[in-house]
Amino acid sequence: MPENCLFCKIVRREIPAKIAAESEQALAFYDINPQAPVHILAIPKAHIENAMAVKSEHSGTLFEVLKLAQETARKEGIDKSGFRLIFNNGPDAGQAVSHLHMHVLGKRKLAWPPG
C-alpha cells in the first residue's frame, strides 16, 4: 500500500474513520463530506488506483466491496427505498482520492442525470 494514500492510511488505522462495515478484503466508512444523508465509501483494502486499474484478479475484492455496499444499505435502511452506487474515475469525474472507492448514496431523492 502506498504510504501517502489517504484511504490506505484509513485501512491501516493511521487516520480515524467512522467504520460502517468491514470484511477481510474491503472496508466501508462514512464520508467526511457527505453529499446525501447517507454517504458511505466502500473500498478495497488493497490499493487499486481507479476503475481503469482493475484487473480480472480483483474480481473477488470487487465482490467484497459490493457486499459491503449492500450490507451498509440494509443497515442504513435504504435498501428498499433506493440508493446510488458510484465509481468516479479520474479528475474530470471528481475522483479526489486515487484509491478505488464506491460511493453509497441514499436517504434522499437523487436526480438524473447526475451532474
Which entry of 39, 47, 99, 101 is annotated as an active-site residue?
A: 101
CB 42 within 8 A of CB 65: yes
Q: Per the structure block, which three cell numbers stand in for 113?
A: 442525470
Q: Has 101 been annotated as catalytic?
A: yes
* Residues near 66 by beta carbon (within 8 Å), at least 6 away in sequence: 42, 85, 102
H or E, element range at 40: strand 38-44
d(CA 93, CA 55): 21
Positions marked catalytic: 101
